[in-house]
């Protein structure tokens, strides 16, 4: 029997899952859209993975990360539930031992992780604003009538990207509309958008952080060649984009679950388990906390969200 470990990264836009073996080699992987329903997405993901998994493999650990890590962690009975920053760093370090900077732009958040001698020494995450993240790009793609997947190739065709005020998503959008109405070509506008994402990221998230090469660029946006090109141009460094860059969080959490293993075996049959969450507003004090209750097979297994600790 081959021991293997499942890592699930549930992001705002996409859900990623990998199964790795003892040597961190990927046995099978999957990447699907979350579509606002993490429970459904994870069910679908697990079914895909189950089909691909060879018969002689046995799951010895499950890890979850991403914004829905707590919920899905409870659902799968995970033995490692960690934030995406740690997961990404661990995942990347297993592939690139000498990495010093990880740039990560995801659907809803963007972060920079600084690594020296194999440990995280500093990190930053976008705080107040989502300008320059994946969801911004995908919403603008819709506006321009271009699929997000083609965004990069469009951007590469342009020689003179337009300047877009990308400090704020809302202003960027109105600026973009203006530029489109003035009559700029689609390629130039898309290139301008990619460039503005890079500038915004470097000015907002990386402020005061020393970016040293080797640099690895990950997250969904790293699949966009236009953004990669402008990162290279502006930083004047070589940027390394991994084929599995979008899976790094899932790989990292799978590794963490291996380190955290407790000898238990897990099954991937979660279709029969009834799993639902119920939210309600507690009205006992003026705080009006939103309480989330997680119910598995009709039994309450956890609830969170209260400020006072009543639930």
Whether 105 and 133 have beta carbons less than 8 Å apart is answered as: yes
Is omega for the bond preceding 129 within 30 degrees of 0, making it cis?
A: no
For residues 159 and 283, which CB has a smaller minimum distance to other proteins in the complex? Answer: 283
Q: Is 130 one of the binding residues for other proteins (CB under 8 A)?
A: no
State the binding string over 70-109 for other proteins (x if CB under 8 A, else -).
Answer: ------------xxxxx----------------------x
Q: Is 283 one of the binding residues for other proteins (CB under 8 A)?
A: no
Q: Is 185 one of the binding residues for other proteins (CB under 8 A)?
A: no
Q: Which of 157, 285, 301, 310 binds other proteins (CB under 8 A)?
A: 285
Q: Is 117 one of the binding residues for other proteins (CB under 8 A)?
A: yes
Q: Is 203 one of the binding residues for other proteins (CB under 8 A)?
A: no
Give bridge partners of residue 28 from the DSSP assignment: 19
Q: How far is the CB of 192 from other proteins (least distance, A)?
A: 29
CA angle (40 as vertex; 37, 41 as ends), nearest 5: 80
* Number of neighbours of residue 55 by Cβ within 10 angstroms: 7
Distance of alpha carbon 54 from alpha carbon 32, whole angstroms: 21
**Dihedral of the CA atoms 264, 58, 276, 10 (nearest 10)?**
110
CA distances 65 to 6, 165, 231, 247, 251, Å, are 11, 33, 27, 11, 10
Q: Is 307 one of the binding residues for other proteins (CB under 8 A)?
A: yes
Q: How many residues bind other proteins (CB under 8 A)?
A: 25
DSSP summary character for residue 258: H
Using the contact rule CB under 8 A, the part of the chain among 32-40, 181-189, 234-242, 287-295 near other proteins is 287-295
Q: Which of 32, 125, 199, 291 binds other proteins (CB under 8 A)?
A: 125
Q: Which residues bind other proteins (CB under 8 A)?
A: 67, 82-86, 109, 117, 119-125, 127-128, 208, 210, 285-289, 307
């Amino acid at each position: 029997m081959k021991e293997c470990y499942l890592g699930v990264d549930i992001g705002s836009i996409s859900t990623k899952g990998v199964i790795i073996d003892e040597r961190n080699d990927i046995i099978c992987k999957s990447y699907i859209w979350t579509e606002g329903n993490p429970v459904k997405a994870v069910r679908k993901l697990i079914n895909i993975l189950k089909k691909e998994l060879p018969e002689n493999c046995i799951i010895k650990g499950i890890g979850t990360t991403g914004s829905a890590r707590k919920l899905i962690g409870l659902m799968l009975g995970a033995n490692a539930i960690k934030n995406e920053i740690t997961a990404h760093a661990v995942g990347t370090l297993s592939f690139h031992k000498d990495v010093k900077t990880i740039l990560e732009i995801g659907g809803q958040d963007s972060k920079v992780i600084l690594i020296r001698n194999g440990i995280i020494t500093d990190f930053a995450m976008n705080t107040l604003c989502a300008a320059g993240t994946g969801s911004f790009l995908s919403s603008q793609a819709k506006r321009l009538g271009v699929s997000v997947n083609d965004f990069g190739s469009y951007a590469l065709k342009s020689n003179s990207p337009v300047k877009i005020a990308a400090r704020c998503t809302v202003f960027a959008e109105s600026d973009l509309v203006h530029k489109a109405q003035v009559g700029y070509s689609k390629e130039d506008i898309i290139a301008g958008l990619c460039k503005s994402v890079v500038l915004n990221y470097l000015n907002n998230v990386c402020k005061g952080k020393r970016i040293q090469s080797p640099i690895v660029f990950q997250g969904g946006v790293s699949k966009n060649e236009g953004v990669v090109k402008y990162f290279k141009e502006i930083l004047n460094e070589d940027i390394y984009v991994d084929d599995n860059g979008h899976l790094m969080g899932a790989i990292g959490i799978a590794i963490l679950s291996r380190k955290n293993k407790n000898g238990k075996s897990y099954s991937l049959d979660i279709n029969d388990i009834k799993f639902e969450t119920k939210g309600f507003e507690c009205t006992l004090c003026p705080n009006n906390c939103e309480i989330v209750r997680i119910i598995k097979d009709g039994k309450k297994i956890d609830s969170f969200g209260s400020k006072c600790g009543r639930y």
